[in-house]
Each structure stands twice: as structure tokens, then as C-alpha cells.
A and B are shown apart, each in its own frame.
Chain A
Amino acid sequence: MNRFVLTIAAATAAVMTLASPIAAQETLMVGSECTYFPFNYRDSDGVLKGYDIDVANEIGKRLKAKTEYVCMKFDGLLPALLAGKFDLIAASLSITEDRRQKIDFSVPYRLSIGQFVAPKAKKLALFNADGSINKPAFKGVRIGIQRATTYDNWFQAIVPDANIVRYEGVEAIYLDLKSGRVDAIMTNPMKTYLEFLSKPDGAGFEVVGPQITDEKYFGTGAGIGLRKGNDALLKRIDAAILDMKKDGTLDKFSKLYFPFAIYPVN
């Protein structure tokens, strides 16, 4: 029984590896979630939009391939990619070690970052002019973060004596930032921009200091996911993303949704 299954699997895999390079030149099948605003979502007319989609479309254009999309739940994307339902994942998929064991990733086209948000009136100087951390300025400043997140790890390693207040979810963090129970918060600036800063509630608050991209804590970002063994395709996608970074296309895409760059600048 087992051997039978293995044989079938091996045969399928062999067929797929043979078939995919040919198919990829015509059509790139892209898997995405299609519900994750503003990265991959459908607008009110049902048109697929978002930063991930823009990037995937542009990759298709540069590879001279057609792009077609398959929408499914986020946790189904990886198995479906492995099963050959599509060739790429463009769904803000963070590059992690666990995932790397199963699939390959392109170079990141979106950052994983942390940033501070504080009331404008407070004029907190948590960072020096050159962007380095001004550790003494953290004294007496209460900082709200989500419990056991990358931000938590970053604080414990970089500013261990900071006055940290840990929260279960982001809603309570915004409430307490508004009320002044915490003086600043550290979050994902994209999320905070969408949920807080761009809303009337967030007026009077601003991001403080640079985007913190420390890879050791925040990871390398989100990339395009591919099945292993597609090295030629991977190389072409990497080249396309690097070009898009250089010629300002990624910048253009990120400014469509955010007032700041969300791709790795360096």
C-alpha cells in the first residue's frame, strides 16, 4: 500500500517537474488569499487588487507570462502549492525557517518591520538623529506591545530595561495609547496605519523613529513562495523583484496603499 502511494507520488512529482517549466512560460498560476486588505483583496467590483497582486502581476509582465489567480484560505496555500494547484504564492507570506524547509522563497518584496507610534504632542525622542536608539530616553516611558510577539523579543534583547506593558490584542493597545496609559506603542506600522493612524481616532498620533528591520527579530519579510526545484523560475523572479526595487516600481506600489515604503529599501 505504502509503496503504491509512494510510486504514484513519485510519478506525479516527476510529471510536474517536467511539465511546470513549459507551463510557466505561458501562464503563471498564482495562489493568494484574496481577502487580506490591502495586500490581496477584491474591491467592490470583484477585481483582485492589493500590493501582493500588483507585485505578482508585474512579475508576470516582466517574465512575459500570463498570471492567473487561485483564491483560497491562507492555511491552505502551502499544501496547495506543494500539490501543484498553482506555481507561486503571492499572499504576504512571511519568509520563515519552518516554511523554507518545505518551499523556496524569492527575495523579499515586503518588509517585516516594527515601529513606534506616539502622541504628536509628546515629542518623544526615542531615537537619535542618525536613527540609532537613544536608550536613556526610554526611562519613564511606558511602551505598549502585544504579548509574546517579535516586538516583545526585540525589547528583551535590545532595550531590556524599558518599561513594557504587555497586551493581549491590539485594540486595547490603541485604547490605552489614546487614553495615555502608555506613552508609546511598538507595532507593525502597516497594520497601525490601517487600523489607527488613518482613522479619526489616530489623529494626533504619529510614527516615531525609523522603521526597525532587525532581521534577527523581525525576519526577512514576505516573499513569493515556490515549490522547491524550480531554480530557474526562482532566479527570474528574484531578478524581476530586484529590478522593480531599483526602478521604483515597488515604491510606486507601496505608495498606492501606504504613505511610506513597505519594501526592503536596502
Chain B
Amino acid sequence: MNFEIALVWESLPKIVEGMGLTIELLLISLTLGTALSVVLVLMRISGIPALVWPAFLYIYVFRGTPMLVQLFIVYHGLAQFEFVRNSVLWVFLREPFWCAIIAFSLNVAAYTAEILRGGIQGVDRGLHEAGRALGLKPYQRFLHVTAPIAIRLSLPAYGNEIISLLKGTALVSLITMYDITGVARTIVARTFAPYEIFVSAAIVYLCLTWLIQRGVGLAERRFGRYVRR
């Protein structure tokens, strides 16, 4: 077996075309998922059983099942029901793109909620007490004391989550979309050169991962100003 480096160079530009979709999926589902995770984590730490339990159940279900299964449930599963197909929702659910956004956002929300909860619980009790001593109201303490520190504490794990979402987006190649992996698979089906083509795809993913790592690293430094000496 010989490795044709030329094939890598030939296929890279085509694979980069699929990168646009990968990035789009990543950014949209990350934004929606993170927004939802804030709601979830507030429910989860609210101490009100009627809010805690739904949030707990949601997180349990979405962390406990493979993202591929979630994607298939949204894509194939919901399409099975006539009332779904006849509803307004079908405008979105018909498109593989929105099915992916829905599945990925819901999944990211569950993980990120747990990451944030860990961050919030990691904030030193002494800081709460200091806030109270200063006469800050509970929401002020949360907003100005707990939240900034919790975000800083959550960042490394959140960075991991972004990277796993990036890799998770490859699943959309299974629902007819042309992301990096989808384009690669199409080229493989034509050239019968899986090694070269998938190595090219891997290179593109590595570049994206590097960017994410750099970005999260910068954010960590910015949010970590208070600990720098």
C-alpha cells in the first residue's frame, strides 16, 4: 500500500469547503446550547424541587444517550409521525441542518449545565460570606461574585465540550449533509482512497481544534485575571 501525498493536496481544498458547514453547526448549536444550559443550571441549583427535578432528568437523559441516537431520533424518529409532518415544525424538521442543530444544542446544553454546576459549586464559600458581609443581595452575590469565578472555573471543561461538539458534528454526514466528514466520504466513494482522504479530513479537524484551544486559552487568561500575580 502506498500513500499518495498528492491526493491529500488535491482533496484538501474540497474538504475545506465542507468546513464552512462544520463551523456553522458548531457555532449555532454551541450558542443555543449554552444559552439553554444557563437556564438548566439555574433550575438545577434553585433548590425548588419542581425546577430541580425536570432539569436533573433532562441532563440525565441527554448525557446518558449517544448523540448519534439523539440525532436519529430527531431526524428519522420525529419524521415518522404524521402530525409532525403536517405541523409548522416540519419546515425546520424537514431540513437535516435544523435536525442537527436541535439535537446538538440539546446535547450541549445538558453537558454544559453540569460543567457550570461544577464551576458554581467550586466557588469558595468564604467569598459568599464576604459578599454577604458587604451587604450584597443574593442575586448580586450570584452575578458579581459567584458567576465570574464559576465561569473561570468552568472554562477548561467547557473548552473540552466545544472540542467534543466539533468532533460530534461529523455525525451529520450520516444524515446527507456535506460537512468535513461528509465531503470526505463522498470523495472516498469516488476515489477509493480512504487513507489519504480521511487523513486530510483529520488535518482540517486538527486545525479547528487548535483554534478552539487557543481561543479557550485566551479566555482563561482573561477571566483568570484575578488569580494572576
Interface positions of A (Cβ within 8 A of B): 144, 147-148, 165-168, 172, 175-176, 178-181
Residue of A144, A148, A168, A180 near B174 (CB, 8 A) is A168
In the bound complex, residues from chain B placing their C-beta under 8 Å from that of A172 are: 76, 175-176
Are A147 and B186 neighbours in the complex by a CB distance under 8 Å?
Answer: yes
Task: Contact check, A166 vs B186: say whether CB atoms are below 8 A apart.
Answer: yes
Tell me the bound Cα distance from A180 to B79 in angstroms. Answer: 9
Can you list 7 residue pairs at the A/B interface with Cβ under 8 Å? Answer: A147-B189, A148-B186, A166-B186, A167-B176, A168-B174, A172-B176, A175-B76
**Residue of A147, A176, A181 with most partner-chain B CB within 10 A:** A181
Tell me the minimal C-beta distance from B14 to chain A in angstroms.
14
Q: How long is the Cα–Cα vector from A148 to B185 in the complex, in angstroms?
A: 10
CA of A148 to CA of B189 in the docked complex: distance in angstroms? 6
**Looking across the interface, which residue of chain A has its beta carbon closest to that of B191?**
A148
What is the CB-to-nearest-CB distance from B48 to chain A, in angstroms, rounded to a whole number?
Answer: 40
Q: Contacts A165-B176, A166-B176 hold; do A179 and B80 have CB atoms under 8 A apart?
A: yes
Out of A144, A148, A175, A180, which one reaches B85, CB within 8 Å? A180
Q: Is the CB of B185 within 8 A of A147?
A: yes
Interface residue B125 (Cβ < 8 Å from any Cβ of A)? no
CB proximity of A150 to chain B, nearest CB, Å: 12
Q: Which residues of B are found within 8 Å of A167, using beta-carbon distances?
A: 176
Question: Which residues of B lie under 8 Å from residue A178 when comparing CB positions?
Answer: 79
Q: Is the interface of A mostly helix, strand, loop or mixed?
A: mixed
Chain A residues with CB under 8 Å of B225's CB are none
From B80, B174, B186, B189, name the one whose CB has the most chain A CB atoms within 10 angstroms.
B189
**A181–B94 CB distance below 8 A:** yes
Bound: A175/B76 CA distance, A: 7
Neighbouring A residues of B174 by C-beta, 8 Å: 168
B side interface size, CB within 8 A? 13
How near does chain B come to A151, taking the closest CB pair, in angstroms? 13
B186 touches A179 (CB 8 A): no
A interface footprint on B125-162 (CB within 8 Å = 1, 0 otherwise): 00000000000000000000000000000000000000
Within the complex, the shortest CB–CB distance from B72 to chain A, in Å, comes to 10
A168 to B171, CA, bound (A): 13
Chain A residues, CB < 8 A from B185: 147, 168
Whether A179 lies near B85 (C-beta < 8 A) is yes
* Cβ contact within 8 Å between B76 and A180: no
Q: Which residues of B contact A179 (CB under 8 A)?
A: 76, 79-80, 85, 94
Residues of A near B229 (CB, < 8 A) are none
Contacts of B96 in A (CB 8 A): 181
Shortest CB distance A153–B (Å) = 9
A90 to B13, CA, bound (A): 45
CB B112 to nearest CB in A, in angstroms, measures 30
CA gap between A240 and B64 in the complex, in Å: 63
CA distance A148 to B192 in the complex (A): 11
Q: How far is the CA of A166 from the CA of B175 in the complex (A)?
A: 9
**Contacts of B186 on A, CB cut-off 8 Å?**
147-148, 166
Which of chain A's residues have a CB closer than 8 A to the CB of B228?
none
A-side contacts of B190, CB under 8 Å: 148
Of all A-B residue pairs in the complex, the 8 with the closest CB atoms, nearest first, are A148-B189, A179-B79, A165-B176, A147-B189, A148-B190, A181-B94, A175-B76, A167-B176
Q: How far is the CB of B73 from chain A (nearest CB, A)?
A: 13
- Taken together as a complex, chains A and B put the C-alpha atoms of A172 and B99 apart, in Å, by 15
Rounded to whole angstroms, the CA-CA distance of A165 and B190 in the bound complex is: 16
Say yes or no: A181-B189 contact (C-beta < 8 A), given A165-B176, A166-B176, A167-B176: no
Smallest CB gap from A167: residue in B: B176
With a cutoff of 8 Å between Cβ atoms, the chain A residues found around residue B80 in the complex are 179
Provide the bound-state CA to CA distance between A181 and B76, in Å: 10
User: Are B94 and A180 in contact, CB atoms less than 8 angstroms apart?
Assistant: yes
When C-beta atoms are compared, the residue in chain A nearest to B94 turns out to be: A181
- With the chains together, A114 CA to B76 CA distance in Å? 26
* Cβ-neighbour of B79 out of A144, A147, A181 (below 8 A): A181
Bound CA–CA A172/B80 (angstroms): 12
Min CB–CB distance B101 → chain A (angstroms): 16
Q: Which of B69-96 contact A (CB under 8 A)?
A: 76, 79-80, 85, 94, 96
